Each structure stands twice: as C-alpha cells, then as structure tokens.
Amino acid sequence: MAEANLTIVRDGTARTREADSPRSLVVHFGPDKPLRLDAGVELAPFQIAYQTYGTLDQNRANAVLICHALTGDQHVANVHPVTGKPGWWETMVGPGRPIDTERYFVICANVIGSCMGTSGPSSTNPATGKPWGLEFPVITVRDMVNAQAMLLDRLGIESLFAVAGGSLGGMQVLQWTASYPQRVFAALPIATGTRHSAQNIAFHEVGRQAVMADPEWRGGRYLLEHTNPRRGLAVARMGAHITYLSDAALHRKFGRKFQDRSNPTFSFDADFEVESYLRHQGSSFVERFDANSYLYLTRAMDYFDLAADYGGVLARAFKDTPTRFCVVSFTSDWLFPTSESRATVHALNAASARVSFAEITTDKGHDAFLLDEPELFTIVRGFLDAAGKARGLNGKP
C-alpha cells in the first residue's frame, strides 16, 4: 500500500491526477463564471471538488458546510482515497455524531489553492496544458469562501443551516459570516481567530523557506521537471506539527523516551521518540500534499485580517448579523490562543450578535479540535440542536 502510494507520488503526471480528476464530486465553472480574486485577477475556468453526506431536506434548510483546515480536504467522513485513512473529522461528522448526517446535509469542498481536486497550483493550467505552479494566482480566505458560495449557488442552496470549521476552516467560517451574513444561520468557528498573528506568520515563513530551500523545488516547477521537494515539505510539516501540539502533550506522549534503544547512539539518528514521531509526520505528509499548495494556503492564512477589511473595526464585520455564533477555543492552543477567540467574541458582543463562547480544558493543543474531545462534542451538539429548533428543523429530513 505504502509502496503503491510512493510510486504515484514520485511520478509527476500521476501526482496531478488527483488534482485534475479527483475521486470526488466535481463542479466546473466555465470562462463565463470566473472567480474574481482579491489579488485583482480572475480565475476561469476552474473547478471545485467536494463531498456530501446525508440528504437535503425539502425546504433546502438543513445544509451544513464544513470548512477544512490548512492540510485538510473534502474527505471529512469517508475513507481518504489517497491515504486509505478514515475521514479527518469522523468523530464530529457522521450518523449520530454531533454534526449528524442523519439530520443534516453536510457539504465539504476542497479549498481553492489546495491539491485534492479544486483548482490549485498542482492543477493543469487550461491555458498551457501544464501544471500551474507559481503561475497560479495568490489566493485569500475570502477567495476560498467566494468559491464555496459559487458551489452552493450551483447546488441550489441559498441559505446554510450552519458553517463549521477549525483553524483555517474557522477563518473561512468567520469570513462566511462577514461576506454572506444572510446565508449563514449558525456559525461554529473553532480554534481560530479573525487574523493571523505575527508569530503564526513567522512559523509559516519558516515552513515556506524550508520548501523553497529544497533544490528539488526548482522555483516551483518541480512537476514539470519531475522532481519533488519532499525534504523541504517534510521539514515544513515537522515544524508546523509542533505548533499544533503543546509542551504538555509532547511530554505526556513522548517525554524523553528513546526510540527502540536504551542508550543514546551519539549520532544524529532519531534517538528520541519525539524525533521519530516528527519524521514520520513529515514523510507521511509529503505523500499526500503538494508543496506549492502548502505555500499558497499558508499565505492565505497570513493575509487573513478580517478587521482590516472593515476599517480596522472588527465589530463592523458583524454589524447587524442575523447569525448565531458558537466560538470555541482550547486552553493549551498556543497557535490560536483563547485571547484570539475572546477578541472575536468581544466584537460579536459589540455588534449585539447572538454568541456563545466556550473554552475547553485540554492539553492537546491546537489539534484538539480534530481529536476526541467529549466536551467539544457536547457543546457542538447542544448548539446545533438549539439552532435547529430556532430554524424549525425537526428531526430527520
């Protein structure tokens, strides 16, 4: 299995296959339906790959949009076609889960700039017949959301019951409520913020520099030149992965334990368990992710600053919002600490929005939103139940 994946990844043509012809539902937007990007250019034609779960009810009122994080994709609750692993949010989304696919029609689309079937730098540029590479325009969180809105138009869904997501997904949730307040009944931004902090931009820059320092990156033309900046991307992932955890979680899981040995080897092998773990995280990541997409998506997060789009006053982004919000943060998340969520909540209060805010105690760090956190599940379930009653959703579609 691993060997087969490796073969696919090493072959540049095969690598663009999932990007151009994904094992997902796909909608195509022709030259008459361009995506107008914040960068000032139009993207057309382009495509969006997405997955759906559950059934849309007669009133088209029970649709829930899930927004995925930086390295996530549309495979929320099904086996991943590339890795063979379970969907990335199966603990949250599925039959009987907090986001219950027996009650809600769940949609998740791969974001613009990613590499799992929605147009991005590893997709084929229709103008040249070759992979876009760095010719792909730089995209923003708002571009991702505008593309999702076009997908919903195509699906005939005017109003979403809920939009939910963590991290970059949470940024999209907040952007949704600012850009399309009338289309969002309930919003669940988790482990996120309304802007990327200087520290977070700094971490991303280290990751990007690691990718670009790999000689196999070839100025972003690795797909054309049949190379792959695996080492650079793996190092980027290793660094980023540390920021998704916490000191306490690393200590609990690994401590200073040695990996398959009882004494140090006095070399630069992965003596420690934590080193071995990070190396594994890095090497498995490069099997499923495109290096240029990593550059584009980290950039989109860096550029995100919701208040800046509203004259520096965050509350204006939520002025007269009809949406009900449930903001969630985690005590040990140092990437998007509770103070970021609190700033969002303050702005929502100032805008007289209907907002709930819960901070969950955990040592699992930023990644807690993806993990088994019973309190998160209870909160999401309770919030959606109450919102469903308010919207007149009753039971199964």
Partner 1 sequence: MTMLTRTNRDLTMAEAARVADGGRVDLLLVADMVEPGSKVLDVGCGDGELLRILAERRGVDGRGIELSREGVNECVAKGLAVVQGDADTDLVDYPDDGFDYVILSQTLQATRHPRQVLEHMLRIGRRAIVSFPNFGHFGIRLQILLGGRMPTTDNLPYTWYDTPNIHFCTIKDFRQLCGVVGARMERAIALNAWGRRLRLTAPWWFWNLFGEQAVFLLSRQKANNGRRSHS
Q: Which residue in the set 79, 352, 372, 396 belongs to the binding site for partner 1 (CB under 8 A)? A: 352
Q: Which residue in the set 345, 368, 370, 393 belongs to the binding site for partner 1 (CB under 8 A)? A: 345
Q: Does 27 bind partner 1 (CB under 8 A)?
A: no
If the CB atoms of residues 297 and 355 are measured against partner 1, the closer one turns out to be: 355
Q: What share of the chain is helix, strand, coil (3-state, %, to 5)?
A: 40, 15, 40
If the CB atoms of residues 298 and 332 are measured against partner 1, the closer one turns out to be: 332
If the CB atoms of residues 113 and 365 are measured against partner 1, the closer one turns out to be: 365
How many helices (H) and strands (E) would you count in the chain? 12, 14
Query: In whole angstroms, how close is the CB of 358 to partner 1 at the nearest point?
Result: 5
CA dihedral of residues 201, 89, 367, 387 (deg, nearest 10): 80
Query: In whole angstroms, how close is the CB of 350 to partner 1 at the nearest point?
Result: 6
If the CB atoms of residues 109 and 162 are measured against partner 1, the closer one turns out to be: 162
Q: Does 241 bind partner 1 (CB under 8 A)?
A: no
- Is 341 part of the annotated catalytic residue set? no
Q: Does 107 bind partner 1 (CB under 8 A)?
A: no
Q: In one letter, which amino acid is 205?
A: E
Q: Which residue in the set 5, 55, 227, 356 belongs to the binding site for partner 1 (CB under 8 A)? A: 356
Burial of 198 (0-12, 13-18, 19+ CB in 10 A): exposed
With H, G, I as helix, E, B as strand and everything else as coil, classify residue 359.
strand
Contact segment (CB under 8 A) with partner 1 among 107-115, 117-125, 297-305, 319-327 equals 319-327
Q: Which residue in the set 25, 56, 308, 350 belongs to the binding site for partner 1 (CB under 8 A)? A: 350
The tokens 């927004």 sit on which residue? 67
Q: Does the N-terminal peptide bond of residue 31 adopt cis geometry, omega within 30 degrees of 0?
A: no
State the first-to-last Cα distance of the chain, in angstroms, to the nearest integer: 39
- In the numeric block, which tokens belong to residue 317? 């982004």
Q: Which residue in the set 37, 108, 326, 370 belongs to the binding site for partner 1 (CB under 8 A)? A: 326
Q: Does 307 bind partner 1 (CB under 8 A)?
A: no
Which residues make beta-bridge pairs with 164?
Answer: 66, 188
Q: Does 393 bind partner 1 (CB under 8 A)?
A: no
If the CB atoms of residues 143 and 373 are measured against partner 1, the closer one turns out to be: 373
Query: In whole angstroms, how close is the CB of 187 to partner 1 at the nearest point?
Result: 12
Query: In whole angstroms, how close is the CB of 352 to partner 1 at the nearest point?
Result: 5
- Is 247 part of the annotated catalytic residue set? no
* Size of residue set near partner 1 by CB under 8 A: 26
Lay out the site mask for partner 1 across 373-392 (x = CB under 8 A, - = otherwise): --x--xx-xxx-xxx-x---
With H, G, I as helix, E, B as strand and everything else as coil, classify residue 58.
coil
Where do the DSSP E strands lie in 287-335?
324-330
Q: How far apart are CA 133 and CA 224, in angstroms?
A: 9
If the CB atoms of residues 240 and 360 are measured against partner 1, the closer one turns out to be: 360
Catalytic residue, candidates 123, 167, 179, 293: 167
With H, G, I as helix, E, B as strand and everything else as coil, classify residue 369.
helix
Neighbours of 182 (CB within 10 A): 10
Q: How far apart are CA 120 and CA 361, in angstroms?
A: 37
Q: How far apart are CA 297 and CA 211, in angstroms?
A: 13
Catalytic residue, candidates 73, 309, 333, 367: 333
Q: Does 257 bind partner 1 (CB under 8 A)?
A: no
Q: Does 316 bind partner 1 (CB under 8 A)?
A: no
- Is 262 part of the annotated catalytic residue set? no
The tokens 């972003």 sit on which residue? 220
Residues 6+ apart with CB under 8 A from 59: none
Please give the helix or strand (H or E) that residue 105 lies within, else none.
strand 105-109
Give the catalytic positions in this structure. 167, 333, 366
Residues engaged in binding partner 1 (CB under 8 A): 324, 326-327, 345-346, 349-350, 352, 354-361, 375, 378-379, 381-383, 385-387, 389
